[in-house]
Amino acid sequence: MKLCLSEGSLGGLKVLAAAKATGAPVEVQWLPQEAHVVPFLTRPQLPALQLENGSFLFSTNVISQYFFRLSGKEISNFNNEQSDFANQFFEWDITELEPALSAALYLHVVQEKKGEDVLGIIRKPLDYLDQILTKKGTSYLTGDVESAADIVLWGSLFPLLRDDSFLPNELKALRSWFQNMNLKEYCRKAVESVWTPKGLLELKAYLQKHPAPSLTLEKSATNEAKEEESAQQHLSDVEIEAIAEIWSRGSASLPNPWKPQHPILPVEGMKNVLITSALPYVNNVPHLGNIIGCVLSADTFARYCRLRNWNTLYICGTDEYGTATETKAMEEGLTPQQICDKYYSIHAQIYQWFNISFDYFGRTTTAQQTTIAQSIFQQLLERNYLLTETVDQLKCEKCARFLADRFVEGICPFCNYEEARGDQCDKCGKLINATELKKPVCKVCQETPVVKSSQHLFLDLPKLEESLEKWLAVSQSSGDWTPNSRYIARSWIRDGLKPRCITRDLKWGTPVPLDGFREKVFYVWFDAPIGYLSITANYTDQWEKWWKNPEQIQLYNFMAKDNVPFHSVVFPCSLLGTGDNYTLVNHLIATEYLNYEDGKFSKSRGVGVFGDMAKDTGIPADIWRFYLLYLRPESQDSAFSWNDLMIKNNSELLNTLGNFINRAGSFVCKFFGGCVPTMDLTQDDKRLLAHITLELRQYNQLLEKVKIRDALRTILNIARHGNQYLQVNEPWKCIKGSDADK
């Protein structure tokens, strides 16, 4: 193992002390603070531990715990209560102590402040530690022997408390513990190695580049019962009794779950829900941003719909035509069809591992796609909604081809992003005509293209604008459109619709069935949304019962916000223009962007966590699902962070939800044979049921509006109520008491 450290590193003390305390067989490598060690992080992260298999650990607390577990010390010496208590300290250190210490250190080291200016920030956590040590009456945090928790907290505190003036005399237990830890040989050696004169300069430079967080520390530091924010409202005694009476009926009073037969078709008199998630491009492995923006959000809602006994069909598939596929085929030396087959299998395997519950996962390179897309095209042509125009295009004379979409890159004319594509800028999100790019280059040979003319077909959006506005008014007033989807759709209409090109000079795509254009294919954003219809048609030959039945169907589209223009304007106009009675979207659910650490996910540049990487981490799929839903970017961009993944997993999934399920389940299994006994409800029991009922009502209201992230909070609130109930009533004591207690 290789431990990468830098002098003056805030986390260096604890990991080096833990390594020396446990005798961990590590090679220590000293590097500058800005050294980039962990390959999949976008910013420097030290300390970092490289394991024998090439994997990296970069959470200082995890590294410290790893050394102890590797040595077997804590596993053999700790009972369950001590282990739980130590885990609480690790969580508290990350979420509360370290932010306070960072702010205090910034004031002390960078701004050279002393006294109450600094002490005021850290006084609460210091008081808390002193109280714990005083109450337990032990020499160390978890008992009479030092543990990883002692080393972790000592390592966090030392950079500030080495100045004795920041440790108040009245905190006698804390002072004794800290001085005792300072005398440990492994702590002294860590200080000698990390806390050098050069290290102090490195620390100051680091703090100057990373200003102190703005915070106030108000939260309790333990899992003791406390008031939690939840869907609270006043319930009368009559309502509480009614809730208790419903509970007493048991599961026999619940409706039987709806179990549709395949193929799933609309049922008269039922709520029929059709769910789609934006078709992922087949040319790359999906990253976490793609997964939460489309398939995971749609999957979560589909599962909810099925639990509500709504007749639900969830379809998706890979988008396989267009320039992205041709480009990828050239990069890998394969044919477009081979690329599609290869990456379709990769997508399917990743979604299966993530437990995405598609009713059918298809693809767009099918005969049904050609038939339906060409049929819609012919109807638009017959109804005079298509135009022919001569278009200036970029042509690479070296490659002897027109450069559509992703075959060309250049500087965005709107935001000056230097790697904008020929159809859209990834930075500002604006749609671009390739000829508008500044300094364009051919992606294949890097030569500068020339402007040439070519005839293309356009969808006459201005002629369809009135029909679109009427439909939008009804759909947005009666359905659930996210604020960003409403704004984007309205902004397109506000700015005035313009004819939109629907053909491309490519080989790989749905052929255009019109003389003079037979060498061209449909533009992917005319063709791709039709994939929803063709994929359903490959699922069942009765697909029109879903897609030409707007009176009986509620259609939900899930996507990231960059797909909104095509789903709210271009695709609806394509269907409205046919004159057929197509099912159009009732609820357009768009997320903002999920970023990666302090940058952006990028498939083309390999930045971020991708589906296959998530699987290879060994972290179970349900943990990934939970964390992605927890930070789902519903109203603003959010960011994936490895450290935050660990914190949320430990503090919410394990300590809150997992703790409640484990405590309750273990208790019932141990004392009642795994069966919940008949019980007479006390008033406390009834109040608990009332709290849970309120949370469930809130959960239903939120999920019906597809506010998935907020709905997840209500589940955690239910677990908090359960944990508080167990903590207050202590059933493990009652079971040992009288028959009445039992």
Number of domains in the chain: 3
In angstroms, the CA 359 to CA 303 distance is: 11
Tell me which of 629, 663, 685 is where a domain ends: 629
Do both 30 and 172 map to the same domain?
Answer: yes
Do both 674 and 613 map to the same domain?
Answer: no
CATH number reported for the structural domain that contains residue 703 in this entry: 1.10.730.10
- Chain position carrying tokens 């259609």: 555
In angstroms, the CA 582 to CA 579 distance is: 8
Residue 108: per-residue pLDDT: 86
Tell me which of 162, 188, 209 is where a domain ends: 209
Position 186 in a domain: yes
Do both 611 and 670 map to the same domain?
Answer: no
Tell me which of 596, 629, 662 is where a domain ends: 629
Do both 170 and 56 map to the same domain?
Answer: yes
Position 319 in a domain: yes
Do both 673 and 600 map to the same domain?
Answer: no
- Whole-Å CA distances, 530 to 138, 286, 535, 570: 69, 21, 9, 11
Position 9 in a domain: yes
In angstroms, the CA 470 to CA 156 distance is: 61
CATH number reported for the structural domain that contains residue 8 in this entry: 1.20.1050.10
Do both 729 and 584 map to the same domain?
Answer: no
In angstroms, the CA 243 to CA 687 distance is: 9
Mean pLDDT in order along the chain per 10 residues (742 residues): 86 92 91 81 81 86 88 57 69 82 86 83 90 88 87 92 86 93 93 84 76 45 38 70 88 87 96 98 92 97 97 98 88 95 97 98 98 98 97 89 82 93 82 89 92 94 97 96 96 92 93 96 95 99 98 98 95 98 98 88 76 91 97 94 88 89 91 88 91 94 96 95 87 76 62
Do both 25 and 106 map to the same domain?
Answer: yes
Do both 105 and 201 map to the same domain?
Answer: yes
Strands of 446-523 (E only): list them. Answer: 450-459, 500-501, 503-504, 521-522
Do both 281 and 365 map to the same domain?
Answer: yes
Residue 308: per-residue pLDDT: 96
Do both 504 and 575 map to the same domain?
Answer: yes
| Amino acid letter for position 26 | V
Read off the pTM. Answer: 0.77
Spatial contact of 94 and 61, defined as CB atoms under 8 Å apart: yes
Position 42 in a domain: yes
Do both 65 and 164 map to the same domain?
Answer: yes
Residue 207: per-residue pLDDT: 77
Position 388 in a domain: no
Position 219 in a domain: no
Do both 612 and 670 map to the same domain?
Answer: no
713's torsion region: left (phi>0), alpha (psi -120 to 50) or beta?
alpha
Position 644 in a domain: no
Boundaries of domain holding 63: 2-209
484's torsion region: left (phi>0), alpha (psi -120 to 50) or beta?
alpha
Q: Identify the CA nearest to 218 among candidates 134, 110, 39, 95.
A: 95
Position 641 in a domain: no
- The phi and psi torsions of 140 (rounded to 5 degrees) equal -130, 170
Q: Identify the CA nearest to 343 among candidates 610, 624, 629, 618.
A: 610
